[in-house]
Amino acid sequence: MKNFKILYLIIMVAGLFSCDYLDVVPDNVATIENAFTDRYNAEKYLATCYSFLPSFAGYGNNPTVAGGDELWLPDRVRTQNGPTLARHNQNVTSPKFDYWTGNTGGKNLYTGIRVCNILLENLDGVPDLTEEERIRWKAEAKFLKAYYHFYLIRMYGPIHITDKSLDVSSSTEAIKLFRDPLNDCFNYVISLLDEAIEELPLIIDKQKTELGRITKPIAAAIKARVLMTSASPLFNGNSDFENLVDSEGTKLFPATYDPAKWQQAADACKVAIDLAEEASFRLYQKEDYLTPFELSDTTQMKMALRSRFTERWNKEVIWAASTSIVGGGRGGLQGASQPRLFSLEANPVQSNLAVPMKIVEQYYSKNGVPINEDSTYDYSNRFKTRVSGHDDRYFIKEGEETAIVNFDREFRFYTDISFDRCIWFGNGVYDDEENAWWIKARTGEPGAVYDANDRTDSGYLPKKYVNIETEFNADGTQYRTENYPFPLVRLADLYLYYAEALNEINDIPTDEVYHYIDRVRSRAGLDGVVDSWKNFSIYPEKPSTKDGMREIIHRERMIELSFEGARFWDLRRWKLCYEYLNQPLQGWSVEEKEASAYYTLNTFYVQSFTVRDYFWPIKEEQIILNPNLVQNVGW
Average pLDDT, the chain: 92
Distance CA 214, CA 402 (A): 46
Q: 502-507: list long-range contacts, CB under 8 Å, 24+ apart.
A: 502/266, 503/546, 503/549, 503/550, 503/553, 504/231, 504/259, 504/262, 504/546, 504/550, 505/259, 505/262, 505/263, 505/266, 506/546, 507/546
Q: Is 294 a member of any domain?
A: yes
Q: Report pTM.
A: 0.94
pLDDT digits (tens, 9 = 90+) for 32-75: 778 999 999 999 999 999 999 999 998 888 999 999 999 999 99
- Is 328 within 8 Å of 335 (Cβ atoms)? yes
Q: Are residues 506 and 526 in the same domain?
A: yes
Confidence of residue 6 (pLDDT cuts 50, 70, 90): very low
Distance CA 493, CA 553 (A): 11
Does the structure show a pLDDT above 70 at 9?
Answer: no
Residue 234's pLDDT is what?
98
Q: Is 327 a member of any domain?
A: yes
Q: Provide CB contacts within 8 A for 528, sequence distance 6+.
A: 514, 518, 521, 522
Report, in angstroms and rounded to the nearest whole number, the Rg of the chain calculated over CA atoms: 25
Does the structure show a pLDDT above 80 at 31?
Answer: no
Of 541, 562, 582, which residue is a domain's last? 582
pLDDT digits (tens, 9 = 90+) for 77-98: 888 899 999 999 999 999 999 9
Q: Are residues 421 and 526 in the same domain?
A: no
For residue 410, which amino acid is it? E
**Eight-state DSSP code of residue 3:** G
Residue 625's pLDDT is what?
94
Residue 19's pLDDT is what?
35
Distance CA 181, CA 159 (A): 8
Does the structure show a pLDDT above 90 at 7?
Answer: no
pLDDT digits (tens, 9 = 90+) for 315-332: 999 999 998 999 977 889
Does the structure show a pLDDT above 80 at 21?
Answer: no
Q: Are residues 451 and 523 in the same domain?
A: no
Q: Report the interhelical angle of 566-573 vs 131-156 (nearest 10°).
A: 60
Does the structure show a pLDDT above 50 at 3?
Answer: no
> Of all residues in the chain, what percent carry a pLDDT higher than 90?
86
Residue 176's pLDDT is what?
76
Distance CA 627, CA 605 (A): 39
Confidence of residue 539 (pLDDT cuts 50, 70, 90): very high
Residue 567's pLDDT is what?
98
Residue 77's pLDDT is what?
87
Distance CA 105, CA 97 (A): 5
Distance CA 117, CA 142 (A): 8
Beta bridge partners of 422: 396
Q: Are residues 509 and 435 in the same domain?
A: no
Confidence of residue 5 (pLDDT cuts 50, 70, 90): very low
Higher-scoring residue by pLDDT: 328, 464: 464
Distance CA 6, CA 4 (A): 6
Residue 170's pLDDT is what?
54
- Please name which of 98, 79, 97 lies closest in space to residue 87, comparing C-alpha atoms: 79
Q: Are residues 446 and 516 in the same domain?
A: no
Q: Are residues 371 and 448 in the same domain?
A: yes
Distance CA 402, CA 421 (A): 7
Of 451, 485, 519, which residue is a domain's last? 485
How large is the average pLDDT for residues 12-38?
Answer: 50
Higher-scoring residue by pLDDT: 375, 171: 375
Q: Are residues 471 and 499 in the same domain?
A: no
pLDDT digits (tens, 9 = 90+) for 621-633: 999 999 999 999 9
pLDDT digits (tens, 9 = 90+) for 218-230: 999 999 999 999 9
Strands, E assignment, 20-133: none
Q: Is 130 a member of any domain?
A: no
Residue 330's pLDDT is what?
83
Q: At CA 472, angle to CA 467 and CA 475, rounded to 5? A: 165
Which helix H or strand E contains 606, and what residues bound it? strand 601-606
Which helix H or strand E contains 272, and what residues bound it? helix 260-278
Backbone angles phi, psi at 301, to 5 degrees: -65, -45
Q: Are residues 349 and 438 in the same domain?
A: yes
Distance CA 103, CA 115 (A): 18
- Is 467 within 8 Å of 524 (Cβ atoms)? no
Residue 434's pLDDT is what?
84
> Of all residues in the chain, what percent carry a pLDDT higher than 70?
94
Q: Is 92 a member of any domain?
A: no
Distance CA 102, CA 51 (A): 13
Q: Are residues 550 and 442 in the same domain?
A: no
Strand, helix or coil for residue 468 = coil
Count of domains forming the chain = 2
Q: Are residues 478 and 503 in the same domain?
A: no
- Is 539 within 8 Å of 39 (Cβ atoms)? no
Residue 168's pLDDT is what?
54
Q: Is 453 a member of any domain?
A: yes
Q: Is 447 a member of any domain?
A: yes
Residue 172's pLDDT is what?
52
Distance CA 131, CA 138 (A): 11
Distance CA 230, CA 221 (A): 14
Q: Is 425 a member of any domain?
A: yes
Query: Of 9-18, 138-147, 231-240, which gets the smallest average pLDDT?
Result: 9-18
Distance CA 158, CA 185 (A): 7
Q: Please give, one letter per residue, the 3-state secondary structure of 609-624.
A: CCHHHHCCCCCHHHHH
Q: Are residues 572 and 480 in the same domain?
A: no
Of 485, 500, 523, which residue is a domain's last? 485
How large is the average pLDDT for residues 1-23?
Answer: 31
Parent domain of 553: 488-582
Residue 15's pLDDT is what?
29
pLDDT digits (tens, 9 = 90+) for 336-348: 999 999 998 888 9
pLDDT digits (tens, 9 = 90+) for 97-106: 999 999 999 9
Backbone angles phi, psi at 276, to 5 degrees: -65, -45
Burial of 444 (0-12, 13-18, 19+ CB in 10 A): exposed
Q: Provide CB contacts within 8 A for 532, sequence distance 6+.
A: 367, 368, 369, 521, 526
Q: Provide CB contacts within 8 A for 369, sequence distance 6+.
A: 532, 533, 536, 537
Residue 13's pLDDT is what?
28
What CATH number did the domain enclosing 570 receive?
A: 1.25.40.900
Residue 33's pLDDT is what?
75
Q: Is 480 a member of any domain?
A: yes
Strand, helix or coil for residue 370 = strand
Q: Are residues 413 and 552 in the same domain?
A: no
